[in-house]
């Protein structure tokens, strides 16, 4: 047997020559996996940077899309039962919503003005009840005054005076009002076109699908997702409104001034899980401390507020929505931090709707996205 035959026999018997290609292939697979992971990480970072930079544009788009999902069943019902075209139905619905918001704002304007006028007096009463905090603030003010006096005595003709201009309340309110008005105009405009278009984008999606089976699958998935998301957000909105009515009624029964204002506050804050209830309890507690002199009555009001929010979050919402659509509390908390960091206060309000939409989409698609939906749920 010559050397060539021995080499062939060694290769057939699984010698060292055959082990080398397997090790090389394994290293190549590992390199491909690492490279794919790094590219995915870079893509995610670039996407986050783009979302943060374009937040002024993305926030109205996301908000209008979510509101369109909430109001789409109403427009569809008007078109189906009253034979009203989608553009006219969308216009009528938005006019009705704007009229309702204007009516509520007009009703609250008197109470808000009275609350602002009595705010200095209420703060004095609250300060008198917390003398320890007041004493600490006085010491801080005295220290600041001493530092200013020391800086003034040490200055000569060549001394440069540096004064830090603090933002005024009026400037902050004007800036926020302009921001809200601008984004509200953009959101309403996009919302109208989304509602007026009806099934336009769905029809276009069906047209671009190559096969008939793909068209049927895409049509089923999109309609199911749109239906589930629309009814989910509509039910959440109705639950929050019911909570606001309950809180306003409870505040009226306890003798708190401005019960309508507290009800609207509870409705808006309940769109923020956990943090909204905590902020509401703190605000109501501070307000009750200025209204009541008795400690038990001052503590009863925030306790009732907390009890109503706890009943809603623990029993009513899971019962109506079902366990499938209830998010994991850890995911909710992390999403509040993340979207609040990304988009500020609007991101805090949009965090739960965005994660809820992601969960519903993941549950419908299944596969790898089904794993994401499983981790998002309880």
- Is 60 exceeded by the pLDDT of residue 13? no
* Bridge partners (DSSP) listed for residue 377: 327
Query: Among 55-69, 203-217, 339-353, which stretch is predicted with the lowest mean pLDDT?
Result: 203-217
Q: State the burial class of residue 171 (Cβ atoms within 10 Å of its Cβ: 0-12, 13-18, 19+).
A: exposed
Number of domains in the chain: 1
What does the pLDDT average to over 233-260?
Answer: 89
**What pLDDT does residue 186 have?**
87
Q: How far apart are CA 30 and CA 37, in angstroms?
A: 11
What does the pLDDT average to over 156-182?
Answer: 55
**What pLDDT does residue 250 have?**
92
What does the pLDDT average to over 334-340?
Answer: 87
- Is 60 exceeded by the pLDDT of residue 353? yes
What does the pLDDT average to over 20-30?
Answer: 58
What does the pLDDT average to over 278-285?
Answer: 89
- Is 90 exceeded by the pLDDT of residue 247? yes
Going from the C-alpha of 109 to that of each of 115, 171, 247, 257, 294, the distances in angstroms are: 10, 20, 19, 14, 29
What does the pLDDT average to over 265-273?
Answer: 87
**What pLDDT does residue 304 have?**
93
Q: How confident is the model at residue 343 (pLDDT cuts 50, 70, 90)?
A: confident
286 domain residue, yes or no: no
77 domain residue, yes or no: yes
% of the chain exceeding 70 in pLDDT: 70
Give pLDDT tens digits for 72-94.
878 888 888 888 888 898 999 99
Going from the C-alpha of 271 to that of each of 4, 38, 126, 189, 254, the distances in angstroms are: 78, 36, 29, 23, 25
249 domain residue, yes or no: no
Strands (E), 262-376: none
188 domain residue, yes or no: yes
Q: Which of 315, 323, 313 minimizes the C-alpha distance to 280?
A: 313
What does the pLDDT average to over 102-123?
Answer: 70
Residues spanned by the domain of 81: 55-106+181-198
- Strand, helix or coil at 258? coil
- Is 90 exceeded by the pLDDT of residue 362? no
**What pLDDT does residue 131 have?**
54
**What pLDDT does residue 141 have?**
65
**What pLDDT does residue 104 have?**
79
145 domain residue, yes or no: no
96 domain residue, yes or no: yes
Average pLDDT of every residue of the chain: 76
Q: What count of residues does the chain have?
A: 378
90 domain residue, yes or no: yes
**What pLDDT does residue 213 have?**
77
Helix 329-365 / helix 212-253 crossing angle, nearest 10 deg: 150
- With a CB cutoff of 8 Å and minimum separation 6, the contacts of 68 are 191, 194, 195
Q: How confident is the model at residue 305 (pLDDT cuts 50, 70, 90)?
A: very high
46 domain residue, yes or no: no
């Amino acid at each position: 047997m010559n050397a060539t035959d021995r080499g062939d026999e060694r290769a057939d018997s699984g010698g060292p020559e055959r082990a080398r290609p397997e090790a090389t292939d394994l290293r190549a697979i590992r390199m491909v996996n690492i490279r794919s992971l790094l590219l995915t990480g870079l893509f995610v970072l670039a996407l986050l940077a783009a979302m943060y930079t374009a937040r002024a544009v993305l926030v109205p788009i996301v908000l209008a899309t979510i509101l369109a999902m909430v109001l789409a069943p109403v427009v569809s019902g008007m078109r189906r039962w009253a034979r009203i075209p989608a553009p006219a139905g969308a216009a009528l619905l938005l006019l009705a919503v704007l009229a309702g918001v204007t009516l509520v704002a007009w009703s609250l304007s008197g109470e808000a003005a009275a609350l602002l006028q009595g705010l200095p007096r209420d703060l004095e009463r609250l300060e008198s009840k917390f003398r320890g905090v007041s004493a600490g603030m006085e010491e801080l003010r005295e220290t600041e005054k001493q530092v200013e006096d020391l800086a003034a005595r040490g200055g000569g003709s060549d001394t440069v005076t540096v004064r830090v201009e603090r933002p005024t309340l009026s400037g902050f309110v004007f800036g926020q009002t302009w921001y809200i008005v601008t984004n509200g105009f953009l959101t309403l405009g996009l919302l109208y076109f989304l509602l007026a278009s009806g099934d336009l984008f769905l029809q276009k999606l069906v047209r671009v699908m190559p096969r008939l089976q793909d068209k049927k699958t895409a049509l089923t998935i999109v309609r199911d997702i749109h239906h589930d998301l629309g009814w989910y957000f509509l039910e959440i909105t109705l639950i929050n409104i019911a909570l606001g009515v309950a809180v306003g009624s409870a505040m009226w029964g306890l003798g708190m001034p401005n019960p309508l204002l507290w009800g609207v506050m509870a409705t808006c804050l309940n769109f923020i899980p956990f943090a909204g209830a905590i902020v509401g309890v703190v605000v109501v507690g501070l307000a009750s401390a200025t209204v009541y002199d008795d400690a038990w009555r001052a503590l009863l009001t925030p306790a009732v507020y907390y009890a109503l929010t706890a009943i809603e979050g623990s029993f009513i919402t899971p019962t109506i929505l079902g366990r499938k659509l209830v998010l994991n509390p850890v995911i909710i908390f992390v999403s509040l931090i993340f979207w609040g960091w990304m988009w500020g206060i609007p991101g805090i309000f949009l965090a739960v709707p965005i994660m809820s939409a992601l969960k519903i989409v993941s549950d419908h698609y299944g596969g790898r996205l089904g794993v994401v939906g499983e981790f998002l749920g309880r």
